[in-house]
A = this chain, B = another copy of it.
Amino acid sequence: MSGSSQDPPANDSRTTVAELRELVRQFVAERDWQQFHTPKNLSMSLAIEAAELMEHFQWLTPEASRQIAGQPEKLVEVGEELADVLCYALALANELGLDVAAAVHDKMDKNRQKYPADEYRGRYGPEDASASPTADEA
């Protein structure tokens, strides 16, 4: 389904972030598009693609949005929008020289401290009064 014909298809288990970044970098370089790829423009593009992704879920109930997982044609469409989001995210990382894996690891460390598992189990945030039974009893 993807990759050049002689290679096995790409998948998340054997693809590094660097390989995806290189794919994007090459596509941009071949078209001489770095001139348009200012961080400002790329941040707009990312937000635009995020909105296109959101459009697929706009009028669905939360439950119906979960059912997309079992609808192959819809899933392909959603996958394309998600890919667009990721391509621009990686293009931005390329322009700024940001290491994506390190940034994600650092942010997750921060999130673990901001949202201790015991305190936030079953609660989406400080505003959420409903809590997991365990947390309630504490």
Contacts and interface: CB of A to CB of B under 8 A. Distances in A.
Interface of A: 1-3, 9-21, 23-24, 27, 30-33, 35-36, 38-41, 43-48, 50-63, 65-66, 68-69, 75, 78-80, 82-87, 89, 92-93, 95-112, 115, 117, 120-122, 124-125, 128, 132
A112 B4 CA distance: 12
B50 A47 contact: yes
- State the main secondary structure of chain A at its contact with B: helix
A122 to B, nearest CB: 5
7 contacts: A2-B102, A12-B21, A16-B17, A38-B63, A41-B65, A45-B58, A79-B96
A20 B104 contact: yes
Given A11-B102, A14-B16, A38-B66, 17 more contacts: A12-B18, A31-B115, A38-B62, A39-B68, A40-B65, A43-B54, A43-B65, A45-B58, A46-B53, A47-B53, A48-B51, A48-B58, A50-B51, A66-B95, A75-B98, A82-B100, A85-B89
